Amino acid sequence: MSKKTLTLMSKDKQLFNIEEHLAVQSVTIRNMVKEDGASSVIPLPRVDSETLALVIEYLNRQQAPEEDEDYVKKFVDERGEIPTLLELAQAALDLDIKKLMDAACMKVADLIKDFTLEEVREALRIENDRTPEEEKAIRDEFQWAF
């Protein structure tokens, strides 16, 4: 495979270079390359530069296939904050990198699984749009879960 490089652009207009054979791990980029040769810059309007740097770090990994699973796990573990992980998951979703997406989601799920309702709302910044009555109804029905 040729050592062609691609340029990715984050939403704050920063440019990142990456070798094409590594970049095609992302299904989105692979499709783009197939379609129009990807001569120009590939814009990623929903990914900020920090996250894109992380993704590129991930794509640049030099791991044997059998160690890959562990690497992904470690990679995600090192960035254990929920906002970062969510950004990462979103970037992985846009770029269609399945392994990274799954690992990031798994980590988030692990983190929030013991959270109470309030903690989860705070951690994921969810706006509570339920009335207390509605909430109480669910609470009563699934008392064992709270």
Partner 1 sequence: MALAYNNDDQRKSACGIVVEPTTKRKKLRESMENTIIIPDDVLRNILSRLSAKPLMRFRCASKHWNSLITDPHFMNSRSRRMILMHSSLAGLCAFDPKHQNVVKLTYPFEHQIYGCKIIGTLNGIVFLVLQKGMFGACTLILYNPLTRATKEVPGLPPPCCRISAINGCLYGFGHGNIIIGKPTCICPSRRTYNNCNVFSLKNGSWSTPKTTFVGGPEFVQKVGMFLDGFLHWIACSMFDEFYIVVLDVTEMRPFDKYIRKTNTLGRSSFAKITILKIYIPRKKFNQKCAPPVFSTIAPLLDDSQLTLAVAVAEMLIKKIAFLAFSPVSKMRKLLEMDLVFFRDPYGHRLIPRAHEPTRKPTHELAPELTRRPVKSWIPQKRSIRPLAFLYRAELEPAPTYLQGKHKDVTYHRWARHSLELRGQVTFCKSVRGVWPDKRYGETTKEGQEVVTEEDQETPDLREMIAAEVGEALHDMLSGYFAQMKDELKKEMRSQVEAVVEASVAARPGGSGGSGGGQPRVTTYKDFSACQPPQFNGQKDPVASSRWISEVEGVFLTSSCSEEVKARYASNLLRKAAKDWWNLINRTRTPEQIATMTWEQFKEQFKEQYQYVPQVEVERLTGEFLAMKQTTETVNEITDLFLERSLFCPDYVASERMKMYRYAEVLKPEIREFVVMAECKTFHRMHEVARSRELELKR
Site residues (vs partner 1, CB under 8 A): 11, 27-28, 31-32, 35, 43, 45, 83, 86, 89-90, 93-94, 96, 101-102, 105-106, 108-110, 112-117, 120-121, 124-130, 135, 138-139, 142, 144-146
Q: Which is nearer to partner 1, 62 or 143 (CB)?
A: 143
CB of 24 to partner 1, least distance (A): 14
Q: How far is the CB of 63 from partner 1 (least distance, A)?
A: 19
Taking the C-alpha atoms of residue 134 and residue 39, their distance in angstroms, rounded to an integer, is 54
Half-sphere exposure of 78 (CA within 13 A, CB side): 8
The CB density around residue 137, as the number of other CB atoms within 10 Å, is 12
Alpha-helical runs (H) found in the chain:
20-23, 27-36, 49-59, 68-78, 82-95, 98-112, 117-123, 132-141
For the bound state, the minimum distance from the C-beta of residue 19 to partner 1, rounded and expressed in Å, comes to 20
Q: Which is nearer to partner 1, 27 or 57 (CB)?
A: 27
Q: Please, are residues 100 and 108 in contact by the beta-carbon 8 Å criterion?
A: no
Q: How far is the CB of 145 from partner 1 (least distance, A)?
A: 4
Query: Which residue number, 57 or 126, has a Cβ lying nearer to partner 1?
Result: 126
Cα 130 to its chain centre, rounded Å, is: 28
